Amino acid sequence: MNLETTTFGGGCFWCLEAVFRRLTGVNSVSSGYAGGHTPNPTYKEVCTGETGHAEVIQIEYDSSIISFQDLLSVFWQAHDPTTLNRQGNDIGTQYRSVIMPHNEKQNEIAIESISQWSQKFKDKIVTSIEPFTQFHPAEDYHQEYYEHNTGAAYCTLLIRPKIDILKQKKVLPS
Quick: pLDDT tens for 52-74. 999 999 999 999 999 999 999 99
The confidence score (pLDDT) of residue 116 equals: 97
The confidence score (pLDDT) of residue 149 equals: 97
The span from the CA of 133 to the CA of 55, in Å, is 14
DSSP for 118-157 reads HTT-SSPP--EE------EEPPGGGTTHHHH-TTSHHIII
The span from the CA of 43 to the CA of 33, in Å, is 8
The confidence score (pLDDT) of residue 144 equals: 98
The confidence score (pLDDT) of residue 41 equals: 98
Q: How far is CA 136 from CA 37, 50, 56, 67, in A?
A: 11, 16, 9, 24
The confidence score (pLDDT) of residue 24 equals: 97
Give the confidence band of 1 by pLDDT, cuts at 50, 70, 90. Answer: confident
Q: In the CATH scheme, what is the code of domain 3-168?
A: 3.30.1060.10
Q: Is residue 29 within 8 Å of 56, Cβ to Cβ?
A: no
Catalytic residues: 12
The span from the CA of 174 to the CA of 171, in Å, is 9
The span from the CA of 131 to the CA of 104, in Å, is 10
